[in-house]
Structures are given as C-alpha cells and as structure tokens.
Structure 1
Amino acid sequence: MIIHEIGLEGAALFATLHQEAFKGAEIWNEAAFRELLSLPNVKGWVASRDDQPLGFLLVRTVLDESEVLTIGVLPSVQRSGVGCALIENFVVSVKEIVKNIYLEVSLNNKKAYLFYQSQGFFEIGRRPCYYSDGTDAFLLKREIP
C-alpha cells in the first residue's frame, strides 16, 4: 500500500472516495473538498494499491494540535489495515510538532468509535446535536508522546 499526500488537485478524488465510503450518509462534494484543501493548514492523503485508491484522510493542523476532518475507507477493503495505515502515516509525519489529535464521531457509529479506540483515541467529551440529523458526537483525543 502506498500513501500519497494530495492537495487541491485531488478534490474530485476525495469527493468520489467520500461518496463511496459513506453511502447513505451526508456526503461532502468536490466544492467542499476544494474549499478545505485550499486552506494552508489542511492536508489530505490517499492510500492506494496498484494505483487503485482505497481510502483517504483529511486533517487540519493549527499550532501543536490537529483535527481529523474526515477519514474513509472503501467498504470492500475495510478492516484490512487501510485506516490504520492512514492514521499512523499522519502521526509519523507530525510527531515532532503535534501534541494532540482530535476528532468527532457519531454516537451511532459504534464501528468507527471502536476503530478510533484501537488507534489510541479516547473520549474527552460530547457535542450535543453535532450532526445534521441531530445526533450527538463523541469528542475523541489522541496524545502524541
């Protein structure tokens, strides 16, 4: 598996992968990714094998903190290490400057919650009515030693 950092030119790819990874959920379109990727503190990565994209990660970093904006893995390759590789690739790339990584995950998304726990994230709070459907979010944190 290869993980490449991809910038603004990858907005359409990120949108396509987001749609495939989150079928039935709120989908981010190309314009949303273009807007985020045009910010100087937002970076994105795509994991691929044999030139086939498998998953993606989009992160915003400010000073010594990062926030996972979105991460997704195609359903056909979930539970094969793609998400773990994306997270660890990011951690290695920022371990000298980032002390903490944050993210939100829906209370209804137990599978993602368990994945994040396996990656060293722990619950530090909740965000009431965070999602458009009114669902609360767990606020999770991972400390980088």
Structure 2
Amino acid sequence: MEQIEDLDRIMAVMTTAFPPDYGEAWNRRQVGDALLIGRTRYGLIGADGGEHPQDLASTAGFFLSRSIFDEEELLLFAVAPQYRRQGLGDSLLARFIAQARSFGMGRLFLEMREGNPAGNLYRKHGFQPIGIRPGYYRSTTGERIAAISQELKL
C-alpha cells in the first residue's frame, strides 16, 4: 500500500527534522491515525525537488494538513536537516498553498514555536501572526515557549 510507504517516508524525515528538545515531533501512530481521518492530506518532496521520492533516503520533506470547510491547518511541515537551504522547503510550502487554493480553501493556519527558524519561510509566503499561546511548548529543560498562531488568507 502506497500510504504505508509514504508513512515510512514521513517518519524518516520526522525523526531527523524536529529537535527533541521541544516535543514537536509526532509518533508513527499519531501520524498514521491522522492519515485515516477524512480531509487530511499530505505531500512529500524528494531530494531532487520531485513530488514522489523513490525511497526513504531520497525523501527530503513533507507536510501534513487537515481542512474543515474552507479552512486548512498545516499540522506538520518538515525538511530533513541535510536538505535544508536548498529551496526544497520553499517549493514544498508553495505546493501546499497552491493545492489548498485549488481545493477552494479561503484561509490557512499554522502554529509554530516562537523562535522557530521556519518562521522566515512562512512570512515569505504571506503568513501573518494572529495570536500567541504563552507557554504552549515545554523544552526538555522545563523552559516554557510560546506558540505563534499564523494565518494566510487566500
């Protein structure tokens, strides 16, 4: 089943892309359960920039989102560290936005940890901060870090 292979690809990126300090990564069951829910979608990007990586090693990044009516939330977005700063995250986010637009979404949402360097990429694509959840994330040292809610109107 292709979805099982894609779940393997997502998890391969997940294990390297999210720093364990903040507990942002999902486990395999969480991702698998999300994929079973209607109105959830995902996208992959290969090291060559293509949408269908040939294997685990050539999978550079992914997104996972869910939609309700005309709104879509970007649940997870990641590029493996060895593939960063090559334009792949930019291409993947642009594809996510274009697909959401083609599905008739009017607004996109995401939440990110304050200080997450991906914030620059989100701003580049037009996401704007709309709220803060103080102390939402907790680091392994006990430090509390705010989550920043962002929106993009399509």
Give the TM-score taking structure 1 as reference length: 0.86
Structure 1: segments with no counterpart, 5+ residues: 1-5
Uncovered stretches (5+) of structure 2, i.e. residues with no partner: none
RMSD: 1.8
Deviation string 1:66-95 (CA, Å, 9 cap, x unpaired) is 100010001111121111111111222221
- Secondary structure of the 1:80 match is coil
Equivalent residues, number: 138
2:66–2:72 Cα contact (<8 Å) kept: yes
Aligned ranges 1:33-44 → 2 under 5 Å: 33-44=31-42
Deviation at 1:128, TM superposition (A): 2.1
Selected match of 1:130 from 129, 136, 140: 136
Q: How many angstroms apart in 2 are the aligned matches of 1:28 and 1:142?
A: 24
Distance 1:29 1:12, change over 3 A: farther
Aligned to 2:122: 116
For normalisation by structure 2, the TM-score amounts to 0.81
Query: Would the alpha carbon gap of residues 9 and 38 (structure 1) be closer, same or farther in structure 2, given more than 3 Å must change?
Result: farther
Q: Return the letter of the residue paired with 1:17.
A: V
Q: Give identity over the alignment, percent.
A: 25
- For residues 7 and 143 of structure 1, the distance between their equivalents in structure 2, rounded to whole angstroms, comes to 30
Asked whether the 8 Å contact 2:13–2:61 carries over to 1, the reply is: yes
Equivalent position of 2:28 in the other structure: 30
Please show how residues 1-145 of structure 1 align to structure 2 within 5 Å. 7=3, 9-25=5-21, 26=23, 27-48=25-46, 49=48, 51=54, 52-96=58-102, 97-109=104-116, 111-133=117-139, 134-144=144-154
> Is the CA contact 2:62–2:78 (under 8 Å) kept in the aligned structure 1?
yes
